[in-house]
Structure 1
Amino acid sequence: MFFSKRNHSLSNTFFLWIGTVLCLGFYQPILAGTYEEAYEMEQTNTLFAIPLYEKALTTKPTGKLQKAVVSRLFFLYKKHSKLLDALFLGSRYPSLIPSKDRTWIWNQLAEIYKPINVSDLSGTYVFAVKANVENATELKEHLKIQNLPKLYEFASILLLKRKQYNVILSLYEENPNMFPSPLFPGISQFKLNIEQGKEFLKKVLADNDKERSDQEKSDILYLMGVHYRQSNEQELSARYFRMSGSFFAKPRADLEASKSLVLQGKTKEMCSTFKFVSSPYDEIETILYYQCAPNGGQSLRFLLPSIQILSEREGNEFLKVLYTKDGI
């Protein structure tokens, strides 16, 4: 695999060690090495520096190194409009992130969810980040009082990020009218159990009398794509993802269909079917852009440390197939 091809010279390792001791005042060569790698990537591609800084943060740095990692990561989250990631990071390290920057994040979210104000969004956030299957009472009461589908959507996104799937399902069961689309409860069902997901889809599809919006049609077809991917029927998965894009959210559909094609070993078909751009917001779309571009492999070589990290994340398994099989 190409992941094992990146090597550091002995001199680079030595200078990283010296830099750690002199600049940080304590011995953390591995942590500092990860940070230096992230900082080096930032000079080449700021978007792909993010996974490396995230990896550096998982090693639990302390002192000046922690401050450096958190500061750079928060800055890049803002730069690339990864608002929820910035929000979670700011909450985790409030003493390291200036209040004006945290306020900026909330103002951006309020712009997205207008006319909902910052106060209602932040209240939802406070309750959603501590809700679990044993205790979601405060979140439920807050959402019932507000009675706004957009707040249920915001809460669901936060809960998905925390993998609190059962909490999403409990919200849906208590107030299904606040979910104009089956997307969030459907994803939650599939995350918990493929059979539960199939049963949920059957119930949704059985409701033939309901008049559906284009977004709802797209989300149902998207869930069908998820179902067939989990069943390892990648051809059907790609077909349903593509169908979902004919109604709504075409970029989402194209990306997911591409993953299914790669999992079938149809990389050339993917490149001839879809057109990708070098996105300032999405690492996966950018990887596929370089993969399909003439001589794109040269650009991908510089991104390999970040691609390795991304390939280990849920939903990105296709990256291992793509580069194990085809190489760069």
Structure 2
Amino acid sequence: MFVGAISLVGTLQEVSASGFYEEAYEMEQTNTLFAIPLYEKALSQKPTGKLQKAVVSRLFFLYKKHSKLLDALFLGSRYPSHIPSKDRTWIWNQLAEIYKPISVSDLSSTYVLASKANLENIKDLSDHLKQLNLPKLYEFASILLLKRKQYKVILSLYEESPNMFLTPLFVGISEFKLGTEQGKEFLKKILADSEKERSDQEKSDILYLMGVHYRQSNEHELSARYFRMSGSFFAKPRADLEASKSLVLQGKQKEMCSTFKFGSSPFDEIETILYYLCSPTGYQNLKPILPSIRILTEREGNEFLQVLFPKES
């Protein structure tokens, strides 16, 4: 009976993965960006054999096409036999361009250590970063660790080498992910250090973290205000996007559309959804991608999509 149940689950997963793959492939013919969530959903169903290879191959191709470099990097590491070595090399060359003058060798060794780091084996990554002593490498490691939800590892690295963190962004996000109160205490500590000379990026990141704090506290009006303020110093596209989410969570969709102007982004599904939503022909553009939007609403940080696209509709 138990063995039969396992077999049935396996069969259902294959059927489900096949269904999402077919839906993704069909979506790809008209909108490659929104095919990505469907392929990701297919892969989450743990397909095997030829279906797995097909899903991974299409997903990797679309990650490259839409410059989702870290997603491509993680995918290539999980399924190296499905990804040609020249494609994996291309990803590293792109990252080296972003993080120049850090070499591909130093980036790849950092990736290997960060991709398996936890509180038990953090010393390997910590020693490696201390030896190279490069703030940009700490940033790269922090982004990888955030993607893996290894928030305590980021905090541990910060405690050991606070001068390597050029802004409080990664530490602050980690604190908030671990708890609203932890994040609040971290912000208090940062704001108390009023004598420190801060760059525009630091100012922006601190205001961004204030926006995160107020959103977690369900004070969406204040949240939107701090996100918008953060954009006056640095990273305006990030600020506009987050402020828009907070306005939607207040039920202020019309205000959001009149305040911010988004484009049809080749890189960001959320920005493109907001562009479609606020355009005169919004419904016509949104209807074909609703299957992908349903998947995106399930993801952390996309709660505002549940307001825009309630399940019953």
Residue 145 of structure 1, aligned match among 131, 134, 138 = 131
State the TM-score, normalizing by the size of structure 1: 0.90
Give 1:69-218 correspondences, 5 Å limit: 69-218=55-204
C-alpha distance in 1 between matches for 2:124 and 2:73: 20
Q: State the alpha-carbon separation in 1 of the partners of residues 193 and 261 from structure 2.
A: 35
User: Counterparts of 1:253 and 1:133 in 2: how far apart (Å)?
Assistant: 32
Q: CA deviation at 1:235?
A: 0.2
Runs of 4+ aligned residues of structure 1 deviating over 3 Å after TM superposition are: none
Instruction: Report sequence identity in percent.
Output: 83
Which residue is 2:273 aligned to? 287
Paired residues in the alignment total: 302
- The alignment's C-alpha RMSD in Å is 1.4
1:278 is aligned with what amino acid?
S
Report the CA distance between 1:180 and its aligned residue: 1.0
**Unaligned 5+ residue runs, structure 1?**
1-26
Cα deviation, 1:93-152, whole Å, max 9, x if unaligned, reads 001100000000000000000000000000100000010022211100000000000000
1:308 aligns with 2:302: no
| C-alpha separation in 2, matches of 1:323 and 1:28 | 28
AA aligned opposite 2:257: C
Higher relative contact order (CA 8 A, sep 6+): 1
Q: Return the match for 1:51 from 8, 13, 37.
A: 37
How far does residue 29 in structure 1 lie from its aligned partner after superposition? 3.0
1:60-91 superposed Cα distances (whole Å, 9 cap, x missing partner):
11111000000000000000000000000000
1:33 CA drift (Å): 1.2
- Within a 5 Å distance, the mapping from 1:215-230 to structure 2 comes to 215-230=201-216
Cα distance in 1, alignment partners of residues 217 and 311 from structure 2: 22
Amino acid aligned to 1:131: A
Q: Deviations over 1:203-261 (max 9, x none)?
A: 00000100000000000000000000000000000000000000000000000000000
> Aligned equivalents of 1:77 and 1:235: distance in 2?
35
Give the deviation of 1:297 after TM superposition: 1.1
TM-score, length of structure 2 as denominator length: 0.95
Which of 15, 32, 41 is matched with 2:27 structurally?
41
Aligned partner of 2:4 in structure 1 is none
1:228-239 counterparts in 2 under 5 A? 228-239=214-225
